[in-house]
Each structure stands twice: as C-alpha cells, then as structure tokens.
C-alpha cells in the first residue's frame, strides 16, 4: 500500500522550475532537450536525435553539459535485436529531487560569490604612490599621514599619495544582492512551493517509454513499406514518378529499321527533280599556273 503523501505524478511546479532554470542559465539547445525530458519520463538518445534533428555530436555535448550539472541522469541498457545482435543505448531522464537540491546549491553559491566579491573589493588598496607605485589600504592611512604637512605621504619615497579610483567598488554590495534576489524571486517561489513534495520511486527513476509521435510515424512507415512490397510481389507495380521517364526496360528496347535497298537507287531517287550543277573549275582543270603544259597532256 502506497503512502498517501507520495505523489505518482510530477507536479506542474516542478516542471516550471526546470523550465525556468534551463531557460535562464542555458542556451536554446539545452532548453529544447530538457523540454523533451519534461514531457516524456525516460527517452532514448536515438529518439531525441530524431525529434530534435540535431547532429549527434551536438546533442551529446548538450546532454553531457546537463548531466555534468546534475540536471539530468543517464541510464545505459543492453538490448537484443531480432537478428541476435546486442547493442547499447543511453536513456536520459530527470530526477526531480536531485534537480531541486542542485538548484538550491547553485543559487546559494551564486549569492555567496556576489557577496564575497563585493566584500573583497572594499578591502582593496585605496591609495597609490605616483612615483614608486606602492599601494596602501584604508587601514594603513594612519601610517601615511604626515602631521607637519597634513597630507598622506608614501612610507618609502615620502611622495604624496593619490587616491586609487580603479580600486574603488563599482557598485554597492547591498545593491547587487538585492537585484539578484529580485531577479531570482520566481525560482525561489517555486522552490518554496515544492519544498515538501515527495515523489514515488518510479517517478524519480522512470523506466524507458516510447514517444507516441515517433511510434505512430514508425508504424506508418512500416505499413507503407509492407504495402509497397505486397504490390511489387502481386504484379506489375510502378511508382507514379517512374512514368515521367524511361524505365530500365525501355533502355534496352530499341526499334532499329534496316533497309536493304541499293544505295545507288537511294541516291538516284534523291537526285531526281533537281537540276544538274556545274562541276567546279578546280575539279575540271588545275588552277595552279605552270603545273603542267597543255601540249604534254595532248601528247600523253
């Protein structure tokens, strides 16, 4: 018998928390990948590749980033194909309990980092010597003060020091912390709302499931392939696009007509009805002067 306080379905607040965090601190590719895992409990890497249309290397880089930050988890399973070959597949899912703890830790770490950086900036050097470039903090101001001249002088070269404006804090620490709390307030509200949520084990560690859209497309593709194979096996079946051009059978079918008629008859029939043309001069006699003597031709 299950505990009535244990939830068997992920609350909407937890899903909104995951969406807010990934959209606020990550890129659009990470948001798209996490959206698939929010809608589907446990998804195979190949199915995510089919839905997102990413390159495999790009998808793995996105998933490794989310996995390294503990936002998602990975489970590997060995599956056996119908032909007996075994393959390994990676399945990704969200452990929402781990997600909440990671978000709390990271937000607290960011807030502490802001406070530490601003507190350290107030303790930096406030005075600088223009000659020897020595720096001094506010706590060393009593050592720099010269009662004779009423000025602050360097303890090394006794040159009057100047205030170091570059070392001054750019903003007040309280202003940055207040701005951080204001911007992160929606996430804080969701964390307070999901503080006492207790999820069942099958929700935290879900089993692999098929995506309905991909399942329907695979069934439709399988039905189309089986129908085409049945049509080819039952008789002559030709796709619509094959009628636009010659097929392989047409390439080897040639209609050749061989005529046995005499070539002279063909030439005679072709020349009938046309006036005889005069032969050109270069066929009747040579046009080169001195090539031969007409008297020699007569003797010959």
Q: Once rounded to an integer, what is the mean pLDDT over residues 124-128?
A: 71
Whether the per-residue pLDDT at 294 is higher than 60: the answer is: no
pLDDT at 59: 93
Identify the top-confidence range among 30-44, 76-90, 278-292: 30-44
With a cut of 90, say whether residue 66 has pLDDT above it: yes
Look over the chain and give the mean of its residue pLDDT values, rounded to a whole number.
Answer: 77
Instruction: Report yes or no on whether pTM surpasses 0.85.
Output: no
Cα(216)–Cα(37) distance, integer angstroms? 19
Q: What pLDDT digit, counting tens, does each position of 134-148 carry? A: 887 777 777 888 888
Fold of 10-99+198-202: Arc Repressor Mutant, subunit A (1.10.10)
pLDDT above 80 for 131: yes
Kindly report, residue by residue over 223-235, the tens digit of the pLDDT.
Answer: 665 555 445 444 4
275/292 Cα distance (integer angstroms)? 33
Structure tokens at 195: 């503080």
Most confident of 96-105, 140-149, 285-294: 96-105
**Least confident among 66-80, 87-101, 104-118, 208-222:** 208-222
Which residue would you say has higher pLDDT here, 202 or 212? 202
Q: What is the pLDDT of residue 244?
A: 45
Whole-number Å distance between alpha carbons of 77 and 89: 5
Lowest mean pLDDT, pick from 6-15, 67-76, 122-131, 265-274:
265-274
For residues 58 and 29, give the distance between their C-alpha atoms in angstroms, rounded to a whole number. Answer: 9
pLDDT tops 70 at residue 270? no
* Selected residue with higher pLDDT from 289 and 41: 41
- For domain 102-192, the CATH class is alpha beta
Average pLDDT rounded to a whole number, residues 50-59: 91
Model pLDDT, residue 299: 57
- The 10s digit of each residue's pLDDT in 157-193 is 888 888 776 655 555 556 788 888 899 999 999 999 9
Q: 18 and 38 in contact (C-beta within 8 Å)?
A: yes
Residue 249 has pLDDT above 70, yes or no: no
Q: 147 vs 105, which has greater pLDDT?
A: 105
Q: Is 172 left (phi over 0), alpha (psi -120 to 50) or beta?
A: beta
Q: How far apart are CA 151 and CA 125, in angstroms?
A: 18
The domain spans of the chain are 10-99+198-202, 102-192
Is the distance from CB of 164 to CB of 126 less than 8 angstroms?
yes
What pLDDT is recorded for position 14? 92
């Amino acid at each position: 018998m299950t505990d009535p306080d244990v939830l068997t379905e992920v609350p909407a607040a937890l899903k909104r928390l995951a969406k807010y965090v990934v959209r606020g601190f990550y890129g659009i590719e990470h948001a798209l990948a996490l959206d698939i895992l929010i809608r589907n409990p446990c998804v195979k890497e190949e199915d995510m590749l089919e839905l997102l249309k990413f390159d495999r290397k790009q998808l793995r880089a996105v998933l490794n980033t989310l996995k390294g930050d503990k936002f998602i988890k990975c489970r590997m399973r060995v599956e056996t194909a119908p032909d007996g070959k075994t393959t390994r597949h990676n399945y990704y899912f969200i452990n929402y309990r781990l997600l909440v703890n990671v978000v709390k830790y990271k937000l607290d770490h960011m807030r502490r980092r802001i406070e530490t950086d601003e507190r350290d900036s107030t303790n930096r050097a406030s005075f600088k010597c223009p000659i020897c470039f020595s720096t001094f903090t506010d706590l060393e101001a009593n050592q720099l003060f010269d009662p004779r001249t009423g000025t602050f002088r360097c303890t090394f070269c006794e040159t009057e020091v100047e205030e170091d404006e570059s070392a001054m804090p750019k903003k007040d620490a309280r202003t940055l912390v207040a701005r951080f709390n204001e911007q992160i307030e929606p996430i804080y509200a969701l964390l307070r709302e999901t503080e006492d949520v207790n999820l069942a084990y099958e929700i935290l560690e879900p089993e692999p499931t098929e995506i309905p859209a991909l399942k329907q497309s695979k069934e439709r593709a399988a039905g189309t392939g089986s129908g085409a194979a049945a049509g080819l096996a039952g008789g002559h079946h030709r796709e619509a696009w094959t009628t636009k051009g010659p097929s392989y059978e047409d390439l080897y079918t040639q209609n050749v007509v061989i005529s046995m008629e005499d070539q002279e008859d063909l030439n005679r029939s072709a020349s009938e009805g046309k006036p005889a043309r005069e032969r050109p001069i270069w066929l009747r006699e040579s046009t080169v002067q001195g090539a031969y003597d007409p008297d020699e031709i007569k003797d010959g």
